Amino acid sequence: MTQYPRPNTHDLRTTTYDLQPKFIDTHCHLDFPEYDQDREEVILRSKAQGIDHIINIGSSLEGSKNSLELAKKYDFIYATVGVHPHEADNFNKEAEQVICDLAREDKVVAIGETGLDFFKNFSRQENQRALFSSMIKLAKDAELPLVIHNRQAESETLKFLKDAMPIRAAVHCFSGDENFLKECLDLGFFISFTCNITYKKAQNLRNLVKLLPLERLMLETDAPYLSPEGFRGKRNEPLHVKLLAEEVARIKETSIEKIASATTSNAKQFFNLR
């Protein structure tokens, strides 16, 4: 595990960091067991490093509950609630009602992550479709945006979303091709990339970053997964969104301040952050 200086928690709670660009990590999983030993330190050092807001993503029934608890504990953390396609085989009407009830909580800002994963197929595809349909309906009923997980299911993902329009959505950890990107943009969706764009063999993703209009881009770590180049094999953390921003700035031949400003504005708009 990467060693960082221990934060002074009193200072972090009372100091404003005005001199550095501010970022929002729009997708991470700080409720996961990888953080059980030092969760508060991870959160507070991220804040100290200019991560102004964190969106903690619900990906299961229990994870959604834990995500909301984190959001209630820290004023700069917000939660989403939802069920990942990997969990679709265990989804039922009781779980649907629990997610529906959680969605009414004040600090819940989106439904998801949810979608289709035909790459790993940890749950049966018919159950993934039923889950996705349920989560889309909930997002529309609750008037909340949708955080989409898609792997090798582009055509079906688009069909579900087109049938549900109008709907606000963000495709997280984008891994599709240029055609899928164009279709998502045509529907008005936001796109978020992770630190995997820093990998040596990720030129195809960097090409897509270059094509993506800045006004549709958001940044995410998907922590604890997908640590940036130089940290691979180690646990990812929200503070690494700054390394992601540096790479995006390099690709787009602009300043990190401009990337910070645009992506922060986009995230605040999408999640309706206060």
Spell out the residues 6+ positions from residue 179 whose beta carbon is closer than 8 angstroms to its own. Answer: none
3-state secondary structure 86-124: HHHHHCCHHHHHHHHHHCCCCCEEEEEEEEEECCCCCCC
Cα–Cα–Cα angle for 138, 144, 145, rounded to 5 degrees:
105
Peptide bond into 5 cis (omega under 30): no
- Determine which helix (DSSP H) or strand (DSSP E) holds 206, and give its type and residue range: helix 203-211
Give residue-wise pLDDT tens across range 200-212: 999 999 999 999 9
Superfamily of domain 21-156+171-176+189-271 in CATH is: Metal-dependent hydrolases (3.20.20.140)
Evaluate whether 115 touches 140 at the Cβ level (below 8 Å).
Answer: no
The CA-CA-CA angle for residues 154, 25, 229, to 5°, reads: 80
Contacts of 211 (CB under 8 A, 6+ apart): 178, 181
What is the predicted pLDDT for the residue at 18? 58
Whole-number pLDDT of residue 104: 97
DSSP states along 187-200: TT-EEEE-GGGGST
Which residues of the chain carry a pLDDT beneath 50? 1-17
Residues 12, 48 contacting (CB under 8 angstroms) = yes
Residue type, 274: R
Question: CA 69, CA 122: separation in Å to the nearest integer?
Answer: 27
Would you say 172 and 151 are in contact if contact means Cβ atoms under 8 Å apart?
A: no
Residue closest to 171 by CA, chosen among 72, 31, 27 = 27
DSSP state at residue 227: P
pLDDT at 20: 84
pLDDT, tens digit (0-9, with 9 covering 90-100), for 116-132: 999 999 999 999 999 99
> Token digits for 271?
């999640």
How far apart, in whole angstroms, are the C-alpha atoms of residue 108 and residue 20?
Answer: 28
pLDDT recorded at residue 1 = 43
The reply to whether the predicted model has a pTM over 0.85 is yes
Q: Pairing state of beta strands 169-171 and 146-151?
A: parallel
Sheet containing strand 108-117, edge to edge, reads 23-28, 51-56, 77-81, 108-117, 146-151, 169-171, 190-193, 217-219
Q: What is the pLDDT of residue 6?
A: 45
Q: Which residues pair with 149 in a beta bridge?
A: 115
Cα(71)–Cα(55) distance, integer angstroms: 9
